[in-house]
């Protein structure tokens, strides 16, 4: 992709202080986009935005909870007030909550559904309202997971939310395509992030063995897919979920389970 492929574009990305979301923000800003970077941890969001700005990118931090519809609406408002428009919304924030089905609590369920589903749904809605008003088209990306395609023990409620996001991407096509807005999802397999390696020191070794390509994904692998889907080159891709899993869903081998508490 050209170095300035996103010049003049404005993006909002949730859950982006570290991990996949941060890399999406960094790559977008690096290619000319102005970015509203959200994280629930305001300090982390500020640090992340500062790093992007130090590298010459345009980025503003917005700390807050991406589960809350009123807060995600304020992210879109921030993009418009500060940068004049919104062109790209990436509903990246998601909680990966391991838990046995037989012990799963209402509280765990609420936390999971409110971020993975409610937050993503209302970010897409608020971004689409604004894109329609601007009459500029737009790009929305939802962060699903391979566990929304294939079952994974102790990730059943999580997988359920991730499967729903794939359906959200498909479902919105009929209502948003007439306005030039595309909605797609990405399903990462195992990705090396601060969280995954922190939760499980054997994450990389275990998942590398279970992944046909012989390695886990890097955050760059997922950001590359996201940047393609939000670029002009992907203008005719709509309602699609892009698997970025090194072939994992083709075989679905699960490594020895090391479940964080």
Residue closer to ligand NAD, measured from CB, 41 or 180: 41
Contacting positions for ligand NAD (CB under 6 A): 14-15, 17-21, 38-41, 44, 65-67, 92-96, 115, 143, 145, 188, 190-191, 193, 195-196
Tell me how far, at minimum, the Cβ of 111 lies from ligand NAD, in Å. 9
Identify the bridge partners of residue 13 per DSSP, sorted by sequence position: 37, 90
Q: Is 158 a catalytic residue?
A: yes
Tell me how far, at minimum, the Cβ of 190 lies from ligand NAD, in Å. 5
Distance CA 191, CA 226 (A): 14
Distance CA 96, CA 114 (A): 12
Sheet holding 181-188, edge to edge: 58-63, 34-39, 10-13, 88-91, 138-143, 181-188, 241-244
Residue closer to ligand NAD, measured from CB, 19 or 157: 19
Residue closer to ligand NAD, measured from CB, 9 or 162: 162
Residue 5: burial class (beta carbons within 10 Å; 0-12, 13-18, 19+): middle
Distance of CA 26 to the CA centre of its chain: 14
Residues 6+ apart with CB under 8 A from 174: none
Alpha helices in 31-105 (DSSP H): 42-54, 69-83
Residue closer to ligand NAD, measured from CB, 58 or 200: 200
Tell me how far, at minimum, the Cβ of 7 lies from ligand NAD, in Å. 26
Tell me how far, at minimum, the Cβ of 184 lies from ligand NAD, in Å. 14
Show the CA angle centred on residue 260, arms to residues 122 and 150, nearest 5°.
60
Among residues 145, 151, 170, 187, the one annotated as catalytic is: 145
Q: Is 133 a catalytic residue?
A: no
Among residues 162, 187, 231, 233, the one annotated as catalytic is: 162
Among residues 34, 120, 158, 231, the one annotated as catalytic is: 158
Q: Is 154 a catalytic residue?
A: no
| Catalytic center residues | 145, 158, 162
């Amino acid at each position: 992709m050209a170095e300035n492929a996103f010049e003049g574009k404005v993006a909002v990305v949730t859950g982006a202080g570290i991990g996949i979301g941060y890399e999406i923000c960094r790559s977008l800003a690096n290619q000319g986009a102005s970015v509203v970077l959200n994280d629930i941890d305001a300090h982390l969001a500020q640090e992340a935005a500062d790093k992007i700005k130090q590298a010459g990118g345009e980025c503003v931090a917005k700390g807050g909870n991406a589960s809350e519809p009123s807060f995600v609406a304020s992210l879109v408002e921030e993009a418009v007030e500060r940068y004049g428009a919104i062109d790209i919304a990436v509903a990246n924030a998601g909680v990966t909550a391991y838990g046995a089905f037989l012990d799963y609590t209402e509280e765990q369920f609420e936390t999971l559904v409110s971020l993975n589903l409610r937050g993503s749904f209302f970010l897409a809605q608020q971004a689409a309202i604004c894109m329609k008003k601007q009459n500029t088209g737009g790009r929305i990306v939802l962060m699903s997971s391979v566990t929304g395609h294939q079952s994974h023990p102790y990730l059943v409620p999580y997988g359920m939310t991730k499967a729903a996001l794939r359906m959200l991407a498909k479902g919105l096509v009929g209502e948003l395509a007439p306005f030039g807005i595309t909605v797609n999802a990405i399903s990462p397999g195992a990705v090396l992030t601060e969280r995954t390696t922190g939760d499980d020191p054997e994450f990389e070794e275990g998942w590398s063995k279970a992944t046909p390509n012989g390695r886990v994904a890097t955050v760059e692998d997922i950001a590359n897919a996201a940047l393609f889907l939000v670029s002009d080159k992907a203008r005719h891709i709509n309602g699609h979920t892009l698997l970025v899993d090194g072939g994992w869903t083709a075989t679905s081998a699960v490594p020895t389970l090391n479940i964080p508490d």
